[in-house]
C-alpha cells in the first residue's frame, strides 16, 4: 500500500517538474507577474486619488484663492452712460503761419494723438504746400532720410531730407515745450534756410478744426480724438460718427429723418447705420463698451447729425 502511494506521489512530482519553466525564465516570470499586480494596485490608487480630488476640488480652490496665489478675474467695468448736451465746441489748432500771397487759409484736422494744419500753395512757383503737426511726444519716422541738427525757435531741432521725386521732402521737428513737439513738412521749393525761417515765423493762434457734420448734440465729457472729412470720434473711437460710401443694409429696423436705418446691439456695443439717400452714402454711428446709450438717445443724436458740403465719404 505504501509503495503504491509513494509511486503515485513520485509520478505527480515528476509531471509538475516537467511543466515548470526553466530556471533561467523562472525569476523573470515572477517579476512580470509581480509588476502586473503592482500596476493594478497603482491604477486603483490613482483612480481613488482622482475621485478624491474631484470631490475636494471646491475646497482646494478656496484654499488656493485664500493663499493669494491665484488672482481672481477682474470684474467687467460698469457701463458708463452717455449723456447728450447741446451743440459741439470745435477744437482748435494752436499755431499759424503768416498770411502770404499764393497760400490758402489753413485747414485744421484732428487725428489720434495729432493736431494738424495744412497750408495749401496756389502759386507753386514761389510757394509750397506746408503741413504743421503738433504732438505730445517726439515723432517717429519710418522713411529713410538724412538728418542735420539745426537751431529753430531757440531750440535744438533736426531737419530731415527725404530724396523723392519730383521734389525732395523736408521735415523739420523740434521740442516746443514740455509734452509738445512740432513738425513742419514741405518740399525743396524752399531752401533749408527758408524752412527754418518758416518755423521761426509760427505764431500762437486758434484755428478751428472744422468737422464734417453739424451736431445738434454731442456726448458730454468725451474728448474728440479724430475730426476729418469723413469722421468724428471721441475717446479713442468709443463713440464715432463715420460717413461711408453707400452699401446695402441687410435689413432695416426703422427710419431716421426719413432715411432707412438699421440698429443692432451686440456684446461690445451698439451700431446705427443710416442710408442717406441724398448723399449716396451710409452714416454709421457706433458706441462701444464700456460706453452705453439708450436707443432713444442714439436715435435723437442721429437725427441731429447734419452732413456738411465739406464732408467726403470714405
Identify the pLDDT of residue 78.
73
Q: Please give the average per-residue pLDDT across 197-206, as a whole number.
A: 98
Identify the pLDDT of residue 79.
84
Least confident of 1-15, 21-35, 228-242, 282-296: 21-35
Q: Please give the average per-residue pLDDT across 81-86, as a whole number.
A: 97
| pLDDT(111) > 90 | yes
Identify the pLDDT of residue 26.
35
Q: What predicted TM-score, i.e. pTM, was given to this entire model?
A: 0.71
Q: Please give the average per-residue pLDDT across 228-251, as a whole number.
A: 97
Mean pLDDT of the chain, nearest integer: 83
Per-residue pLDDT of 28-66, as tens digits, reads: 443 444 444 344 343 334 334 333 333 333 333 333 344
Q: Please give the average per-residue pLDDT across 290-308, as a whole number.
A: 97
End-to-end C-alpha distance for the chain, whole angstroms = 118
Least confident of 40-54, 71-85, 263-277: 40-54
Identify the pLDDT of residue 11.
52
Identify the pLDDT of residue 75.
56
Amino acid at each position: 500500500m505504501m509503495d503504491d502511494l509513494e509511486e503515485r506521489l513520485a509520478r505527480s512530482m515528476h509531471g509538475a517538474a516537467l511543466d515548470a519553466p526553466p530556471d533561467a525564465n523562472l525569476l523573470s516570470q515572477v517579476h512580470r507577474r509581480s509588476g502586473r499586480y503592482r500596476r493594478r494596485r497603482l491604477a486603483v490608487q490613482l483612480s481613488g486619488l482622482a475621485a478624491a480630488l474631484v470631490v475636494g476640488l471646491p475646497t482646494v480652490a478656496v484654499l488656493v484663492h485664500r493663499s493669494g496665489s491665484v488672482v481672481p478675474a477682474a470684474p467687467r467695468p460698469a457701463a458708463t452712460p452717455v449723456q447728450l448736451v447741446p451743440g459741439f465746441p470745435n477744437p482748435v489748432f494752436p499755431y499759424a503761419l503768416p498770411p502770404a500771397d499764393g497760400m490758402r487759409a489753413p485747414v485744421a484736422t484732428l487725428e489720434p494723438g495729432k493736431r494738424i494744419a495744412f497750408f495749401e500753395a496756389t502759386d507753386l512757383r514761389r510757394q509750397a504746400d506746408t503741413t504743421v503737426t503738433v504732438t505730445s511726444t517726439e515723432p517717429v519716422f519710418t522713411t529713410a532720410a538724412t538728418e542735420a541738427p539745426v537751431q529753430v525757435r531757440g531750440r535744438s531741432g533736426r531737419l530731415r531730407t527725404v530724396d523723392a521725386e519730383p521734389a525732395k521732402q523736408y521735415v523739420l521737428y523740434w521740442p516746443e515745450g514740455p509734452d509738445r513737439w512740432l513738425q513742419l513738412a514741405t518740399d525743396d521749393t524752399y531752401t533749408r534756410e527758408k524752412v527754418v525761417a518758416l518755423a521761426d515765423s509760427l505764431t500762437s493762434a486758434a484755428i478751428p478744426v472744422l468737422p464734417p457734420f453739424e451736431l445738434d448734440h454731442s456726448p458730454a465729457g468725451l474728448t474728440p480724438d479724430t475730426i476729418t472729412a469723413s469722421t468724428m470720434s471721441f475717446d479713442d473711437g468709443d463713440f464715432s460718427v463715420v460717413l461711408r460710401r453707400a452699401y446695402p443694409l441687410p435689413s432695416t429696423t426703422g427710419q431716421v429723418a426719413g432715411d432707412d436705418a438699421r440698429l443692432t446691439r451686440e456684446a461690445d456695443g451698439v451700431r446705427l447705420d443710416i442710408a442717406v439717400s441724398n448723399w449716396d452714402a451710409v452714416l454709421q454711428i457706433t458706441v462701444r463698451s464700456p460706453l452705453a446709450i439708450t436707443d432713444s438717445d442714439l436715435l435723437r443724436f442721429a437725427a441731429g447729425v447734419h452732413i456738411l458740403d465739406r464732408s467726403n465719404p470714405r
